Amino acid sequence: MAGPVLEMRSIVKTFPGVKALSDVTLTVRQGEVHALCGENGAGKSTLMKVLSGVHPHGSYEGEILFEGEVCRFRDIRASEQHGIVIIHQELALVPFLSIAENIFLGNEHARRGLINWNETLRHATELLRRVGLDEHPETRVADIGVGKQQLVEIAKALSKQVKLLILDEPTAALNDEDSGKLLDLILELKKQGITSIIISHKLGEIRRVADSVTILRDGRSIETLDVKAPETTEERIIAGMVGRDLDHRFPERTPHEASLDAAPALEIRNWTVHHPIDQQRKVVDDVSLQVRRGEIVGIAGLMGAGRTELAMSVFGRTYGRYAGGTVLKDGTEIRTKTVAEAVGHGIAYVTEDRKHYGLNLIDTIGRNISLTALGKVARRGVVDEHEERQVAEGFRTSMNIKAPTVFEPVGKLSGGNQQKVVLSKWIFAGPDVLILDEPTRGIDVGAKYEIYTVIDQLAAQGKAVVFISSELPELLGMCDRIYTMAAGRLTGEVPRAEATQEVLMRHMTKDKEVSR
Amino acid sequence: MSTDVTAKSPAPAPPGPAGAGLLGLMLAGLRRNMRQYGMLIALGLIVVLFAIWTDGDLLLPRNVSNLVLQNSYILILAIGMMLVIIAGHIDLSVGSLTAFVGSFAAVLTVQHGVAWPIALVLCLLVGAVAGSLQGFLIAYLGIPSFIVTLAGMLLFRGLTEILLKGQTLGPFPNGLQKMGNGFLPEVGPNTNYHNLTLLLGLVLIAAVVWQEVRDRRRQQEFALEVLPGRLFLLKLVALVAAILVLTMLLASYKGAPIVLIILGVLVVGYGYVMRNAIFGRHIYAIGGNLPAAKLSGVKDKKVTFYVFLNMGVLAALAGLVVAARLNAASPKAGVNFELEAIASSFIGGASMSGGVGTVLGAIIGGLVLGVLNNGMNLLSVGTDWQQVIKGLALLAAVGFDVWNKRKSGS
């Protein structure tokens, strides 16, 4: 076994009021892929920010040894000079610059301030080949998908002669195919001698690429496990993360016996949507589905399958151009041309992107919760602040939103708690049908369980729930029925009893011609 | 107060433990609303400094009265501008629009002899039309507000000159003049003070106390946390004292200016709308996160439209006040008013990216600029240096805000 390339010893980092890291030790061996996992708020990102100089030397206690040498990074540049490059969860690319310009941003091939374009393009082409990205280097970054943008980030890291690559949840925004490619690339880079640290919530992918895994909990390093060892199971890792055995990842659910006589709470017939810009392209193609009261119905699909597009276009035509189809609520056709109409008919859509589409991050918890249904705490257009606050306090307690008061700005909460606020907001609106789009994306295991429990309760109260998710185990654990989509079309409908990951995946990867 | 310091030690609590708690709570509240209180303290500091430098001239009843009259129109504009900025937009046209409305009023009353109440209504209507035109372009056609109102700035300035044929037009009928220069009428027996103003002050005090007490009771009804009794009392006393001092100052000169009454109604009304009305909430929501607001069912276009319509009406009102005060409509009226209103909003806590700010903040911001203006005039500082100092004040206020945010953030 190779010796350690990186040692972080007894790292302590305090923010005003909180101890983010207390006595964290991390040892990474030369040439390995080292996973870092832990619940949100466990201190993973903070630890990596300490390592990469985002939190400069002096703002933390403890020691960092890289290649046997004590390092005191003042800023990111200093750590990059040593070959430590971090790729953040939110990509740091400039959308309207080309791939090549982005790769060499801040690090241009230039002489006396003038850029040498030939050298730039040659080098960019070479780097793109290394990361397996088949795009012209002069393509604008805005014109390529998130998966490819991630590869551009890695190419950028390679251009800096990276020795230790840090990836903060690199596959969070990627579909399975792009995730697979990215993980292969990490393994490929490992062969070339590049050490990686990968922060991830996805245990499957840790098992696939990582050699060892360090678990953080509440700002402490709990343990480091050898991933290849047989006793390191997913359950074992989860137990380390939550500090307790997690026998049940999902609440106990009594599957709903769909009574076929009652009209479905929500029925969508022959729904077709065209792409907002490219109007020839059908993003959602003749989709029909239904969900009954008390039922949780999943929609599975790879990225680009049209699940979010379907949901958003039904919900007030907030995506694309409507090209046909009807929506029925309890058997009668309804208009859902605007969000207000959809909400008025008792439909709620909980977005997959809570930061951009779900919350006003600078406003308080209370005001975010009341926004969709302000009328409920208002009389003649005037909001009763006291009643509003009481409602919000109610949700803070019942949903276990971790914040001192409801006056806390939502932007200061962790992902899981933000998600609870979004859910509270829509539950307060009092819908009959809830469309939940990736409700557990990017949140930790403990919070996930809490969200599952809430969803279960909603169904038990007789609400119809549509559950869109990319995580198959979650759909299998929660849903009574699962629809699958591929390339804008519905490709299957699988009851709970027959659903396995393999069956769903087969439907999700069906070709257009084969289906129907 | 001196006991507060010692009470902080972990030693057994003295019989009156509320002492440390009181100071602690005040500090906590201060920290939470740093921006607002910070500016209020800065305003107080500026007032005290200029009062000292001018040997008390700043706080002479006549000067306080003057200060209100001088700044009223900027404050009216600042209220509307605050709404625009919270919604995530900007309005550069208001200076030109005030001039245009002023000239329209002059043409109506001076040239055509229209009765002033009718002229007043027509002028406000013109403001509403101008505002809704710009609002339509911004909200429904999606043209950026900066560009629409930059065009409006040129357009209304040009129209003003066309209307006035480049000349100054006046004087206005008596009724209209009162809007800019008038005071409440004198009634009742001859005291040394202005009776109606005193009465108004007392009514205001009663209203404020009643409102605060009722609010506190409602909070308790909903089983919510309330300010501890002593702190609540302190707040009441401070409020009452502030109103009392202002009332006495104004009452010992000619009484409350009419425009102050207008302004007071606007501040209370708009403050209430922004805090408690659904419409106000929706303005904060679209400024804070437009896509999220849309997906929450907020009718963002309608809200934006009304925000600009409202700005037009307030600009018209400001235009009438300016014209009335100068007793003439001039093609050069209202130059740079938009910038003063924008500066007031930012000094008062607005954010470039929208979603943040309060009506009271805009007023405090406007008063900071106003007192600086007035104080420097009293000290006969030239307009050149006045501009420099006002520029620095804006930078300092926003700089403090940025620094404060960075300190409290991660």
DSSP A95-107: TTSBHHHHHTTTS
Contact A296, A455 (CB under 8 A): yes
CB-CB under 8 Å, A389 with B278: no
Rounded-to-integer distance, Cα A441 and Cα A470, Å: 9
Confidence of residue B29 (pLDDT cuts 50, 70, 90): low
Q: What residues of B are in contact with residue A393 (Cβ under 8 Å)? A: 224
Helix (H) or strand (E) holding A5: strand A4-15
User: Among the residues of A53-94, which ranges form H helices?
Assistant: 76-81
Rounded-to-integer distance, Cα B50 and Cα B386, Å: 14
Q: How many A-B residue pairs are in contact by the CB < 8 A criterion?
A: 88
- Residue B195, pLDDT score: 85
Contact A444, A40 (CB under 8 A): yes
- Residue B21, pLDDT score: 60
Contact B333, B98 (CB under 8 A): yes
Which residue type occupies A188? E
Instruction: Classify B183 as helix, strand or coil.
Output: strand
Choosing among A319, A362, A396, which should be mutated to test the B contact, i.e. which has the most B CBs within 10 A? A362
CB-CB under 8 Å, A357 with B291: yes
What pTM was estimated for this model as a whole? 0.78
Instruction: Classify B391 as helix, strand or coil.
Output: helix
Helix orientation angle between B300-326 and B94-106, rounded to the nearest 10 degrees: 50
Contact B14, B3 (CB under 8 A): yes
CA-nearest residue to B275 within chain A is A383
Q: What is the secondary structure of A209-237 as a DSSP string? A: H-SEEEEEETTEEEEEEETTSTT--HHHH
CB-CB under 8 Å, A363 with B293: no
Tokens 């909070």 belong to which residue?
B219
Instruction: Classify A52 as helix, strand or coil.
Output: helix
Q: Looking at the DSSP assignment, which residues form a beta bridge with residue A437?
A: A468
User: Which of A343, A360, A386 is the closest to B222 by Cβ?
Assistant: A386
CB-CB under 8 Å, A356 with B281: no
Q: Report the gap between the CA of A13 and the closest CA in chain B (Å).
A: 12
CB-CB under 8 Å, A378 with B285: no
Q: Which of B16-25, B256-265, B383-392 has the lowest mean pLDDT?
A: B16-25
Q: How many CA atoms lie within 13 A of A304 on its CB side?
A: 11
Q: Report the gap between the CA of A362 and the closest CA in chain B (Å).
A: 7
Q: What residues of B are in contact with residue A378 (Cβ under 8 Å)? A: 278
Rounded-to-integer distance, Cα B349 and Cα A54, Å: 29
Tokens 């208002």 belong to which residue?
A378
Which residue type occupies B294? K
| Phi and psi, residue A487, nearest 5° | 45, 45
Q: Report the gap between the CA of B357 and the closest CA in chain A (Å).
A: 11
- Residue A17, pLDDT score: 54
CB-CB under 8 Å, B355 with A386: no
Evaluated on CA atoms B58, B62, B65, B68, the torsion sign reads: negative
Domains of chain B and any CATH numbers:
39-182+257-397 (1.10.3470)
Chain A residues touching chain B at CB-CB below 8 Å: 15-16, 315-316, 318, 338-340, 342-343, 349, 351, 356-363, 367, 370-372, 374-375, 378, 381-387, 389-390, 393, 407, 425
User: Which of B222, B276, B296 is the closest to A372 by Cβ?
Assistant: B296
Eight-state DSSP code of residue B108: I
**Burial of B63 (C-beta count, 10 Å sphere; 0-12/13-18/19+):** buried
User: Which of A338, A340, A359 is the closest to B292 by Cβ?
Assistant: A359
Q: What residues of A are in contact with residue B352 (Cβ under 8 Å)? A: none
CB-CB under 8 Å, A15 with B410: yes
Could you list the beta-strand ranges (E) of A262-381.
266-274, 282-291, 296-301, 321-322, 326-329, 332-334, 347-350, 378-379
CB-CB under 8 Å, A362 with B355: yes
Eight-state DSSP code of residue A480: S
Q: Regarding predicted confidence, which is higher, B70 or A512?
A: B70
CB-CB under 8 Å, A375 with B296: no
Tokens 């809490």 belong to which residue?
A450
**Burial of A279 (C-beta count, 10 Å sphere; 0-12/13-18/19+):** exposed
| Phi and psi, residue B105, nearest 5° | -60, -40
Q: Report the gap between the CA of A389 and the closest CA in chain B (Å).
A: 8
Rounded-to-integer distance, Cα B118 and Cα B295, Å: 43
Going from the C-alpha of B355 to that of each of A356, B85, B285, the distances in angstroms are: 14, 8, 7
Instruction: Classify A289 as helix, strand or coil.
Output: strand
User: Which of B223, B272, B356 is the closest to A362 by Cβ?
Assistant: B356
Contact A492, A308 (CB under 8 A): no
User: Which of B224, B292, B298 is the closest to A358 by Cβ?
Assistant: B292
- Residue B407, pLDDT score: 67
Going from the C-alpha of B65 to that of each of A217, A358, B113, the distances in angstroms are: 63, 48, 31
Going from the C-alpha of A136 to that of each of A148, A151, A158, A365, A485, the distances in angstroms are: 12, 13, 18, 45, 31
CB-CB under 8 Å, B288 with A360: yes
pLDDT per residue as tens, chain A (516 positions): 568 999 999 999 987 656 789 889 999 999 999 999 877 667 888 899 999 998 999 899 999 999 989 999 998 889 999 999 999 877 788 888 899 999 998 888 888 888 889 899 999 999 999 998 888 999 998 888 878 888 999 999 999 889 999 998 888 767 778 888 899 999 999 999 999 999 987 778 888 999 999 998 878 898 999 988 888 887 788 777 766 544 557 887 766 665 566 789 999 999 999 988 777 788 899 999 999 999 999 999 876 788 999 999 999 998 889 999 999 999 999 999 999 999 999 999 999 889 889 999 989 999 999 999 999 999 888 998 889 999 999 999 999 888 888 988 898 888 888 999 999 999 999 999 999 999 988 777 778 888 999 999 999 999 999 999 988 888 988 999 999 998 889 999 999 889 888 888 888 876 543 333
Chain B residues touching chain A at CB-CB below 8 Å: 32, 218-219, 221-224, 272, 275-279, 281, 284-285, 288-289, 291-299, 355-356, 408, 410
Q: What residues of A are in contact with residue B281 (Cβ under 8 Å)? A: 367, 370-371, 374, 383
Contact A87, A168 (CB under 8 A): yes
* Residue B317 reports pLDDT greater than 60: yes
ω before B171 within 30° of 0 (cis)?
Answer: yes
Rounded-to-integer distance, Cα B212 and Cα A190, Å: 67
Instruction: Classify A83 as helix, strand or coil.
Output: coil
Contact B69, B181 (CB under 8 A): yes
